[in-house]
Amino acid sequence: MMASQEKKEQKGKRRGKQSVAYECPVYINASACIAGKKEGEGPLAELFDMIGEDDLFGCNTWEEAESSLQKDAVYLAMGKAGLDSREVQYLFAGDLLGQSIATSFGIMAYEIPLFGLYGACSTCGESLSLGSMTIDGGFARNVICVTSSHFASAEKEFRNPLEYGSQRPLSATWTVTGSGAFVLGKERGEHVRGAITGITTGKIMDYGLKDSMNMGCCMAPAACNVIYQNFIDFGRQPSDYDKIITGDLGSIGQRALIDLVAEKGYDISDNHMDCGMQIYDSKTQDTHAGGSGCGCAAVTLSSYILKQIEEKKWKRVLFIPTGALLSKTSFNEGKTVPGIAHGVVIESV
């Protein structure tokens, strides 16, 4: 048994330092996303499944509102996949709030075994990585990966009370109010959107930056590491991907990333895209460097990216949600803001 498993590993799964390649594609059989009012006024609005009329979504607190986003995104995604919650073996879920309370109170009612995750805004990539490994490893037939963020609960958690109306520097990003849920399956579903064929898992990278209002630059080294390592581990070039898509670097972080990757000998300036730069119209929506948050990458993946893959406009993308690892406490204690990123290779099927 040991021998056959070893052989399997060498043949198929493990690739280099940080990557795994799946023997069979892990299907993204359905997805759904819900977003807030501001996102609903942005360029991707017509692709969202649901848009809130206001950002409380009928709840009493911002945190409850964020929980309801996760709940509804999971509900819609399960419906599209034609699945009952009893047919889903695991939930992989997370958010940005302390002790992940948006998740705890959001997805409780489904009674699905839960793995709670924290990777800051990279959590969407982390959930798709662990979810797809769980399917490929033969531990589950269907799993759901869900993440969320909410502008107001995040400002309360990380920065100042909204009532202060604090000014934000141009390098700052705007936390997306939204949630995206993805149903991964071993068998190809009727309305399959794409497939995960491999992952490149990130490590924490710290270049010593401390500016929490310039998270794009704090996260760029982590994204660079994942992109570079993905090229090495899979023996690929930038041109092997139709798009290389980061989560929420924003316009300032994008410049840093392209420069960092260039130092490693690769030019990604032609096919790099950042979810944070897609979800808002920065000229008219006053969002400065772009969107951010666990919801940013998740909503953009469900609405825009998977549509291009479904329609085969893009054959293969490297999707890399990026996270800035900080808390109120770490910021107040003068710590740096390290970054982490999780790469997922998504292909059309």
Catalog residues that contact a copy of itself under the rule CB under 8 A: 1-2, 5-6, 8-9, 12-14, 18, 20, 23-24, 61, 63-64, 89-90, 94, 96-101, 104-105, 107-108, 111-120, 126, 129-130, 133-134, 136-141, 156-157, 186-187, 201-204, 206, 325-330, 333, 335, 338, 340
> At its nearest, how many Å lie between a copy of itself and the CB of residue 115?
6
Alpha-carbon span 228 to 130, nearest angstrom: 21
For a copy of itself, the closer CB: 12 or 238: 12
Q: Which CA distances in Å does 174 have to 50, 108, 277, 290?
A: 20, 28, 11, 6
CB of 190 to a copy of itself, least distance (A): 17
Nearer to a copy of itself by C-beta: 12 or 43?
A: 12
| Smaller CB separation from a copy of itself, 98 or 161 | 98
Residue 326 CA to residue 194 CA, distance in Å, equals 33
> Which residue's CB is nearer to a copy of itself, number 277 or number 325?
325
Packing angle of the helix pair 62-81, 151-158 (nearest 10 deg): 130
Q: What is the DSSP letter of 302?
A: I
301 vs 306: CA distance, rounded Å: 6
Distances from the Cα of 24 to the Cα of 163, 180, 198, 342, angstroms: 51, 24, 10, 20
Q: Which is nearer to a copy of itself, 121 or 245 (CB)?
A: 121
**Nearer CB in complex with a copy of itself: 5/167:** 5
What distance in Å separates the CA atoms of residue 283 and residue 277, rounded to the nearest whole number?
11
Report, in Å, the least distance between residue 13 CB and a copy of itself: 5
Nearer to a copy of itself, 179 or 278 (CB): 179
Residue 73 beta carbon to a copy of itself: minimum distance, rounded to whole angstroms: 17
Query: Using CA atoms, how far apart are residues 296 and 123, in angstroms rounded to an integer?
Result: 11
Smaller CB separation from a copy of itself, 200 or 287? 200
Closest CA to 18 of 197, 198, 196, 202: 202
Contact predicate 198/19, CB 8 Å: yes
**Nearest distance in Å: CB 264, a copy of itself:** 16
At its nearest, how many Å lie between a copy of itself and the CB of residue 330? 5
CB of 24 to a copy of itself, least distance (A): 6
Q: How far is the CB of 18 from a copy of itself (least distance, A)?
A: 5
Pairwise CA distance, residues 252 & 128, whole Å: 26
Q: Which is nearer to a copy of itself, 14 or 313 (CB)?
A: 14
Give the HSE-up count for residue 104: Cα atoms under 13 Å, Cβ half-sphere. 8
CB of 96 to a copy of itself, least distance (A): 7
Q: Which tokens belong to 11?
A: 């043949």
**Radius of gyration over alpha carbons of the chain, in Å?**
19
What six digits make up the tokens of 307? 């549509």
Q: 100-119: buried (b, 16+ CB within 10 Å) or exposed (e) per residue? A: bbbbbbbbeebebeeeebbb
Please name every residue paired with 178 in a beta bridge, in sequence order, or none if there are none. 35, 149
